[in-house]
Chain A
Amino acid sequence: MPLKKAFTTTIDNVSILDEHGSFDAKLGAPGGKPIIPDDDLVKLYEHMCLCRKYDEVAFKLQRSGRMGTYPENRGQEATSLGAAYALNGDDWLVPCYRENAGLFWRGLPLEFVLLHWMGDERGNAIPEGMCITPLAIPIGTQMLHATGLAWASKYRNEKRLACTFFGDGATSEGDFHEAANFAANLDIPVIFFCQNNGWAISVPTKIQCSAPTIAQRGIAYGMDSIQCDGNDIFAVVYCMKEAAKRARENNRPTFIEAVTYRLGDHTTADDARRYRDAKEVEKWNNRDPMIRLRNYLVQRKLWDDAKQEAAVARAKEAVTAAVKRAEEIASPKTADIFNSMYAELPDDLVIQRETMMTHSLGQHPEELPPTSTQQRTHQQA
C-alpha cells in the first residue's frame, strides 16, 4: 500500500521589482493601486540614500579612530525599511544590529546608533513611545522578547504587533526556535523577519541551514512562512502587509525570509576577503536594492540626476549633523556606571560610587584617603 502523505508544503517566493527592472503589477499594484504609493516610494528611496551615506561616514569614523567597531548595513537597506514602512508607529521593532534603515524610518535619532558604537549606553536610551528595543549584540536572543512584547499587546487587546529582525546565523540559536514555538503555539502576533544575507561573519548560510529555504523553519512550528527578494522593497512590503494583517486579525505569527546580501565586511573588525569570493560580491553589487529602485523611479519619471544629487547632499548634511551631535555630547560621567543599575542603588554600590574603590580595609571605609599619595596612618588594633 502506498504511504499516505502526512503533510506537504511549499514555500512561496515573492519578487515584484526584480534586478532587471521588471515589475509584477499583479502583486505590486493590485487593481491598479500600487502597494507603495509614488510619494512614499520617493521618500523611501531618499531614506535609503541617507542610510547609505550614514554607513559610509560611520565606516570612516571607525577607520579614523573616532568610533569603535561598526557593522555596515550596506546592501540591506530595503529589508528593515520595507518592514518599518509597512507597520504602525506603535508596533514594536525588535532589531539585531543591521536595521538602521528601519529604525531611522521609525524616527530613532541618527546619533543614537553612532553613540552605541562609540561605546556609550546613551545610544540605547530610546525615546519613549518609539517602540524600539536596543540593538541586540547576543545573537538570536531578542526574538523571545518580541514574542513577549506581542503577547502583552494581545493580553491588552491592543492590536499591536512586534516585528523582530535577525540574521540567517541567528536561526541556528536555540532561542530562535523557542521564540517561534511560543509564538505559534500560544497565538502571538509577532513577525519573525530573517535577513538572510548569505553569511554569519565567515560562515556561509548553508552551514546554518541545509534545507532549501530558511523560511521552512517557520513551517516547522506551524506558522505561515514566506520567502522574498530582500533587495526588492515592494516584495518586502507585500510580505509584511500580509503578515501584519494575519497578526492583527488572528494573532498569528509569520516567518519572513528576506534574501539579501551583506555587501560589506561583517563589521569593521572583519576582512571578508579572507573567506569569500570577489565574484560573489560583484554579482550582488549588481543586485543592490538602491540601483533597481532608482532605475524604476527614473523610468517612472519620479527621479532624475538632479534629484539624486540633492538627495545625497541632504543625506550628507543630516549625517554630518548627527556625527556632530554624537561627538559633542558631554563625556559620560564615571558615576553613570552605577546610576542606572537599579531603581534604588544598594548601599554597597553607593559606597563604591563615592569612593571609586572596591577595597576598603574593612570597618571604616569612609576614613580611607582618596588617593595613593595621602597615606593613611592607622592605629594598630
Chain B
Amino acid sequence: MANLTLVQAINLALIQEMEDDDRVIILGEDVGPNGGVFRVTEGLHQRFGSDRVVDTPLAESGIIGSAIGLAMAGLRPIPEIQFEGFLGPAFDQICTHAARMRTRTRGALTVPLTIRVPVGGGIHAPELHSDSPESFYAHQPGLKVVMPASPYDAKGLLISAIRDPDPVIYFEPKRIYRAFREEVPEDEYTIPIGKARVVSEGDDITIVSWGASVVQCMKAIEASDRSIELIDLRTIYPLDIETIEASVKKTGRVVVVHEAPLTAGFGAEIAARVMEHCFLYLEAPVQRVTGFDTIMPYYKLELEYLPEAERIATAIDHVAAY
C-alpha cells in the first residue's frame, strides 16, 4: 500500500499494465520525455522506450484515428488527449469510427482503446482547459465513459478500461489530480466499469455525482446535519441504475451534481431514469446542480459557474423542504 495522489495512481496503473502486456502502448502530445503536461506519464518513456511511449505530431484526429488502427490490429493503445477542450478534432474519429467499428463489422473488427483525457474546471487554467464534455460521449452509443473521483478508483478503473474489449473514454478530473492522497494497493486490482460507489450512506437524500464534483458534495454533506447518501457514479456509461434505484427507494429525494451544463447534461438522463424506476417513491422532483447553460467562463468567474459546495447545500435544503 502506498499513499498516492490520483496522478500517481494512474501512473502506477499504466506502469503495471505495460509491464504485463506488451500490446499496451501510449501515444499523444508531450507524453514522452516530458511525461505529459500533468506528469501522468512521468518516467514511462525512460522505462518503456520510445516505441511504447510515443510523442505524436500535434493532431488529435491523428492520435485517435491511428489509435483505432493500432487497436484493430490487436494492440491496446492508450491515446492521451492533452485537455478535454481539444477533443474537438478527435470527435469525428471517436464517434464515426471507434464507437461504430464493432457493430458495423458485426464484431469482425474491434477497437479496444482507452482514451485518457484530463477534464473539468477549478484550476485557474486558460480557455478550453476547463470543460466537462462527458455527456457528448455518453450520448454516443458504442462508447464507455468513466471518470474516477479518487486515487483508489482511478487505478482500478484504468486497469479495467485498458483490459476492456471496447473503446473507453477515461476522464481524469484535473482539479483533484493532486488534491488529496489515498491508500492505493500496490497489487493490481480492477474496479468494474458500470458500477457506482456509495461514498457515504444516508436515509434522507441521495446525491449522485462524479469527478471533482464528488469532493464538493462531500463538503456540502459535512456541513449539513441531514442524513445524506452520496453516490459517486464512477462510470457514466453504462449507467449503474441499480445502485441509484436502491438508494432513492430509501430516501425519496435526489440531487444530481455535475460540472457540465444543465441542458442535456448527464443529470437529465439520471433524472429520467429515476422517474422510470422510482416514481412512486419520490418525495420531491429530482434536483440538478450543474454548470449553467453558458460557455465555461474564463477563470476569474469559474467558481461562480461550477457547482460548488454552497450551491449544493442550497439544493439539499430545497429538496429536503419540499
Q: Which residues of A contact B (CB under 8 A)?
A: 68-69, 116-121, 137-141, 169-170, 172-175, 200-203, 207-208, 269-270, 274-275, 331-332, 334, 336-338, 341, 348-349, 352, 356-362, 368-369, 371-372, 375-378
Contact = CB atoms under 8 A, between A and B. Distances in A.
B126 A375 contact: no
Contact of A202 (B34, B62, B127, B288): B34
Contacts of A371: 314
A362 B124 contact: no
Nearest to A373: B317
Choose among A120, A269, A359, A377 the residue with the greatest number of B CB atoms under 10 Å from its CB: A359
Given A173-B58, A348-B263, A376-B322, A359 B289 contact: yes
A137 B58 contact: no
Interface size class of B (residues with CB under 8 A): 35 or more
21 contacts: A69-B125, A69-B126, A116-B298, A119-B126, A119-B300, A120-B300, A138-B85, A172-B57, A202-B33, A203-B29, A274-B33, A332-B300, A338-B294, A349-B292, A352-B293, A352-B294, A358-B262, A358-B307, A369-B318, A372-B317, A376-B318
Contacts of A362: 285
A173 B58 CA distance: 6
B255 A359 contact: yes
A377 B313 CA distance: 16
A351 to B, nearest CB: 10
A140 B88 CA distance: 12
A357 B29 CA distance: 38
B82 to A, nearest CB: 9
A115 to B, nearest CB: 9
Contact of B55 (A68, A175, A203, A372): A203
Contacts of A201: 29-30, 34, 37
A118 B115 CA distance: 31
B62 A172 contact: yes
A270 B57 CA distance: 19
B149 to A, nearest CB: 20
B120 to A, nearest CB: 16
Interface string B272-316: 000000000000110111111111011111101101001101111
A119 B302 contact: yes
A174 B58 contact: no
Given A203-B29, A361-B285, A361-B322, A120 B298 contact: yes
B32 interface: yes
Contact of A337 (B89, B128, B301, B315): B301
B292 A338 contact: yes
Given A200-B29, A201-B30, A359 B128 contact: no
Interface of B: 29-30, 32-35, 37, 55-62, 85-86, 88-89, 124-129, 255, 262-263, 284-285, 287-295, 297-302, 304-305, 307, 310-311, 313-319, 321-322
Contacts of A120: 298, 300
Contacts of A377: 321
A349 B297 contact: no
Among all A-B residue pairs, the 3 with the closest Cβ atoms: A119-B299, A202-B34, A172-B57
Given A207-B57, A361-B322, 20 more contacts: A68-B299, A118-B300, A120-B298, A169-B58, A201-B29, A202-B32, A202-B33, A202-B34, A203-B29, A203-B32, A203-B55, A269-B37, A336-B297, A336-B301, A352-B262, A358-B262, A358-B291, A358-B292, A359-B255, A376-B317
Contacts of B263: 348
B304 A334 contact: yes
Contacts of A361: 284-285, 287, 318-319, 322
B293 A121 contact: no
A357 B315 contact: yes
A200 B322 contact: no
Contacts of B255: 359
Contacts of B287: 359-361
A337 B304 contact: yes
Nearest to B296: A337
Contacts of B294: 337-338, 341, 349, 352
Given A202-B33, A275-B33, A337-B294, A174 B126 contact: no
Contacts of B314: 357, 359, 371-372
Given A203-B55, A362-B285, A337 B322 contact: no
Contacts of A118: 300
A378 B29 contact: no
A375 B29 contact: no
Contact of B58 (A200, A270, A349, A359): A200
Contacts of A208: 57-58
A360 B284 CA distance: 11
B56 A207 contact: yes
B33 A119 contact: no
A130 to B, nearest CB: 20
Nearest to B317: A372
B252 to A, nearest CB: 12
A139 B47 CA distance: 30
A359 B318 contact: yes
Nearest to B283: A380
A172 B58 contact: yes
Nearest to A338: B294
Contact of A68 (B125, B285, B290): B125
Choose among A174, A175, A369 the residue with the greatest number of B CB atoms under 10 Å from its CB: A174
Nearest to B60: A173
Contacts of A116: 298
A42 to B, nearest CB: 35
B318 A172 contact: no
Nearest to A346: B293
Contacts of A173: 58-60, 89
Nearest to B295: A341
A348 B293 contact: yes
Contact of A172 (B59, B298, B313): B59
Nearest to A176: B59
Contacts of B291: 358
